[in-house]
Every structure is written in structure tokens, then in C-alpha cells.
């Protein structure tokens, strides 16, 4: 398991905590793998019936570690889960594969910041709960890159094309009420109530008929267009964008704590 991924199993519920608070839970390659491995381990463990993923302090996750993006922009492109396991890059496809092949219910308890993949991974969960303190964003455009994690398909499906365009093209933060309106968060709780409420919901699911739960979940994840193909296309374009001068300017601006200047690009 990864250094920054904590796992606890109790009463049929696996709780996975993303735990790198000093970097707002920004995800490194090892953290994606740790999260993916934890989710996969629950599928073969008869004691576990439900998985809950959450964060710590003020963060669910502030997205991909931006310093990993910088090093990826210098390395050859690899996009499939098999390839991602053997590379030193952030293995996002591996996590998405683990989320999408999970048979048991996946719940997210979004305690705070959910930026980039912190928001887009939520489209792969069955139930999403958030604190009224949580903030979401899909700021790919601000980094000179494009949507990932199947979100170019799943966001318009959840909320409609125009709403998805608003969130993707402006890349601004939005709150839990907007996320509920957009259809990918089920319910809001206060910060203090979030985990107790989500644990109650997880325990309720853990007591239900397990094979019926698994089959119900599986029946609902047959997407019309091929999600795998969409994710592959996104990853290829994302990797190409990472190599552009505009993306390099955006990453540089983040590290220098200034606004990116895109005026010289066309």
C-alpha cells in the first residue's frame, strides 16, 4: 500500500483515506497505485461489502501532483492500464480500471477540495456525499490540458452539455450545491456529520443481499459509447497537450504562484 493511502476494514466496510495533507492530498503515481490496489483488494475479500473513499483535513484531493505533470511532459506517452503499471508516471488509467471493475458499491465522502481528478474520479463512484465545505473544479483548461478520466463523456451525461461546457471551459471552483444540481453528488452534510452519515449508509448497504447489490450496480454501468475508448482518446490528447508551450507556461505559473499568460499562443 502507498505511504499516503490509509486503509481500515470494519464491519464489512473498507474505508480508504487519501492522506497527504501538507500537499492538499495531491496524487502521485504511488498514490494512484495504492488507491487502485486497495479497491481491488476489497473485491476478493469476503469480509468487505462496501468501500468508502475519503480524504483528510480540508482536502479530498487537489488532483494530480503538478510536479508529476511537469516530469510527464518530458517522457514518452503511455496510456493503457498495463503500460501504466510499469512506468514511473501517475498511473491514472490503473485507478480508473480499478474503480470501473469494482463489483462492490463504491461510496465517496468528499470532505474538502476535490480538484481535477478529485472531481472526475467521482463520476466513477456509485454514491457521492460531500461536506458543505467541499469545493470542486475541473481546471484542465487552466493548465493547458484537456478533460480526463472519461469526464468528457460522463460529465455531459450527468449534467447536460452546456453545464459541462461551463465547468470545463471556465475551469472554476464550484460548491456542493452546484455539484448536487449537476447530478454527481447525492447529498450534502456538515463537515462533522459527513463521515458518520456516510458510514451509516455504508453499513446499510453492507447488510443488503450482496449478489443482488453487485448485479444491480453492474446493470447500471453499461455506457452507450465505449468509455474505455473515450478514456484512451482523452489520455492521448492530454499527453499531447502536456507537451505544448501553453501547458508548460501554465505549470510554470503554478510553481511561481502567478497567473498564466496565454496571450502569445494561438
- Residue 188 has phi, psi (to 5 degrees) of -105, 145
Burial track 7-17 (b if 16+ CB lie within 10 A, e otherwise):
beeeebbbbbb
Q: Rounded to whole angstroms, how far apart are CA atoms 26 and 115?
A: 9
The pair phi, psi for residue 51, each rounded to 5°, is: -115, 135
Q: Which is nearer to ligand COA, 64 or 131 (CB)?
A: 64
**In angstroms, what is the minimal distance from the CB of 234 to ligand COA?**
12
State the cell numbers at 176.
456542493
User: In the stretch 139-178, what mask flags binding to ligand COA with x, by CB under 6 A?
Assistant: xx--x-----------------------------------
65 binds ligand COA (CB under 6 A): yes
- Helix (H, G, I), strand (E, B), or coil: what is residue 102? coil
- The interface with ligand COA within residues 6-35 (CB under 6 A) comprises 23-24, 26
- Beta carbons of 52 and 13 less than 8 angstroms apart: yes
| Minimum CB distance to ligand COA smaller for 69 or for 189 | 69
Record the cell numbers describing residue 152, joined without a space: 468528457
Does 129 interact with ligand COA (rule: CB under 6 A)?
A: no
Contacts to ligand COA from residues 109-128, by CB under 6 A: 113, 115-116
- Residue 248 touches ligand COA, criterion: CB under 6 A: no
Contact residue for ligand COA among 7, 62, 155, 231 (CB under 6 A) = 62
Residues 12, 34, 55, 63: which binds ligand COA (CB under 6 A)? 63
Amino acid at each position: 500500500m502507498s505511504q499516503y493511502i490509509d486503509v481500515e476494514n470494519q464491519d464489512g466496510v473498507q474505508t480508504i483515506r487519501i492522506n497527504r495533507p501538507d500537499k492538499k492530498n495531491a496524487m502521485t503515481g504511488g498514490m494512484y497505485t495504492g488507491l487502485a490496489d486497495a479497491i481491488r483488494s476489497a473485491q476478493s475479500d469476503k469480509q468487505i461489502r462496501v468501500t468508502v473513499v475519503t480524504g483528510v483535513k480540508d482536502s479530498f484531493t487537489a488532483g494530480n501532483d503538478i510536479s508529476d505533470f511537469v516530469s510527464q511532459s518530458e517522457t514518452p506517452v503511455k496510456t493503457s492500464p498495463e503500460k501504466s503499471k510499469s512506468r514511473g508516471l501517475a498511473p491514472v488509467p490503473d485507478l480508473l480500471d480499478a474503480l470501473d471493475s469494482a463489483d462492490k458499491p463504491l461510496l465517496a465522502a468528499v470532505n474538502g477540495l476535490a480538484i481535477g481528478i478529485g472531481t472526475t474520479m467521482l463520476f466513477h463512484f456509485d454514491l457521492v456525499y460531500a461536506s458543505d465545505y467541499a469545493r470542486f473544479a475541473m481546471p484542465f483548461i487552466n493548465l493547458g490540458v484537456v478533460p480526463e478520466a472519461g469526464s468528457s463523456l460522463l460529465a455531459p451525461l450527468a449534467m447536460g452539455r452546456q453545464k459541462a461546457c461551463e465547468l470545463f471551459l471556465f475551469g472554476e471552483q464550484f460548491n456542493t450545491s452546484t455539484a448536487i444540481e449537476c447530478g454527481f453528488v447525492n447529498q450534502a452534510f456538515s463537515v462533522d456529520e459527513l463521515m458518520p452519515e456516510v458510514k451509516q449508509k455504508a453499513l446499510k448497504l453492507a447488510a443488503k443481499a450482496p449478489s443482488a447489490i453487485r448485479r444491480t450496480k453492474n446493470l447500471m454501468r453499461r455506457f452507450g459509447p465505449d468509455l474505455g475508448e473515450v478514456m484512451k482518446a482523452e489520455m492521448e490528447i492530454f499527453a499531447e497537450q502536456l507537451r505544448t508551450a501553453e501547458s508548460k507556461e501554465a505549470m510554470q505559473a503554478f510553481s511561481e504562484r502567478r497567473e498564466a499568460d496565454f496571450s502569445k499562443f494561438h
